[in-house]
Structure 1
């Protein structure tokens, strides 16, 4: 045996080996790396054609809010009694794209200004509510115990009284104006965001990645901004898209009853109120701003529902 090994009788030879290529029939398929949470949500959102349609409509309104005043030679508060009550067909000859009102003011300029005021008010108010409500809810849930109990009971006490009563009371005390409306709405609408964030933080604060961050010395602000808030961002966005139309509609209602944006400033509520007094003779003054309010409200609600389906696919029916 030893002699055979020495004679290399049992050692492998080059001709004993065969070079083979990959077995494509038995090889595993290498799939594309999975998408991130936001990429996957965007992919599902793009499949909703109705939401994309209303997203385009919302973009058009945002464009009018920003550039509408530049698209006409008239301003929202300039009047011309010789050109009052021009219908859209009659006003088109003089550059009044949507006609004029009872004082000869350009309806297109006033409508674009009203959309701008409504959008600015809604975005600023929503931003204040999100920031303050998120911080308040995160503090309440993070520390828990007696701190959570006191902070939660405070919110629940404030939510007992309907928010419209707070808003009207503050408007009466502080007077009309955009800043007053923003303050009045912000003081009441942040409550819902705080409870929403609190509930989500309570569910994720005991997860392994949060405990690991604590063990490595992460403080409250680091853990909140790095881990807690990003994991609640999806529900905040969904709530935001459904809250913005409510803010716009509330402002329109307050302006309609005389507690919102003061005249002669243009707002959607003021335009609807002015049009209602001439609805039988000149219905376009009422129909056009009413349709705009309806489309804005409907657009944000449909986009919010689509985002809810896209970011929370497990909750879809």
Structure 2
């Protein structure tokens, strides 16, 4: 059956002429790895709020002791165990210096004609708790930063060398790690006390000896996975030496894992210091840390709960925000978690 077939001109199959303006147009700005990660962190509201709270805590640890007119180490037993009293808030019936003793509500400030304000109250020796809380926070944050630095310096370098060398070197280095990880941190601290007095020095040495083991194992595992990738083999073929492969190619690709594990190291170090101070083998009087403040408040918790509740709230806030920030960084750096 004959039908009239309309011929389609060949010109209709030709590609459209290119638009020079559209060809040069950049649809999306180029992003570096860190900038892309930051954009992902910004989507995590919990991480941003936690970062803001952590910044406030760090700022208060730096300037908090100078905001109070009272010295955190000056003792005045005539003003011991005072409840919190805050100007302005006392007018609405909270933090007005009242406390219940033996079922009777009393105001120790009025009974003793004390005109000063102690925002967090005082301890059993009459020392200002507000100043001591921020001094203790400063010490706890110092321990946390120290642990993070040790992880990044010792743990990362040890893990890089162990995973990159492989073979007999890796076998020997991992056996050393297994021996060291078999010794509990508490035992190491007790051994340090036989040489040094209880305090920051013994805690620091304990972290130097065993605190980096977890980071070293994580970095080693990642290096074993990455060192056989094509870009490493190509760089080796082009004549790159081991130092360039380690610090130019492997280390930047491990930055996400290192940052995430460092953030999770910070709350662990703070809790470790607080635990040691609470059981009496950490910082010693008159030095203050969140652990020593909790240990002091624990003795009189039934009668003066604010002595323990205030440092407990602060240490809980630090632990929670650090973990939330770590979760946000993990979601940003881990490709499996990307949306």
Which bracket does the TM-score occupy, shorter chain normalised? 0.7 to 0.9
- Cα distance in 2 for partners of 1:76, 1:219 equals 55
1:223 to 229, 245, 261: 245
Moved more, 96-105 or 201-210: 201-210
For residues 217 and 127 of structure 2, what CA distance do their matches in structure 1 show? 45
Q: Offset at 1:255?
A: 0.4
Mapped partners of 2:294, 2:144: distance in 1: 18
Supply the distance in 2 between the matched residues of 1:109 and 1:70 (Cα, whole angstroms): 8
Partner of residue 136, structure 1: 158
Residue equivalent to 1:235: 257
Residue in structure 2 matching 1:66, options 38, 54, 62: 62
Say whether the 8 Å CA contact 2:256–2:333 is kept in structure 1: yes
Q: Which residue of 1 aligns with 2:306?
A: 284
- Deviation per residue, 1:233-287 (Å, 9 max, x gap): 1111111111111110110110011100111100111100111111111110010
Give SS of 2:223's match: helix
Distance in 2 separating the partners of 1:168 and 1:21? 76
TM score, norm. by length of structure 1: 0.86
Instruction: Classify 1:21/1:184 alpha carbon distance in 2 versus 1 (closer, same or farther; 3 Å).
Output: closer
Q: CA contact under 8 A between 1:72 and 1:95: conserved in structure 2?
A: no
Asked if structure 2 preserves the Cα contact closer than 8 Å seen for 1:88 and 1:97, the reply is yes
Alpha carbons 2:147, 2:265 under 8 Å: kept: no
- Aligned partners of 2:162 and 2:169 also within 8 Å: yes
- Larger fraction in helix: 1
Shift of 1:101: 0.8
- Counterpart check, 1:186 vs 2:208: yes
1:3 match: none
Give the aligned length.
Answer: 297
d(CA) in 1 for partners of 2:316, 2:177 = 31
Contact between 1:171 and 1:181, CA under 8 Å: does it hold in 2? no
Deviation of 1:297 after TM superposition, in Å, equals 0.7
Q: Is the 8 A contact 1:57 1:299 kept in 2?
A: yes
CA distance in 1, matches of 2:191, 2:151: 19
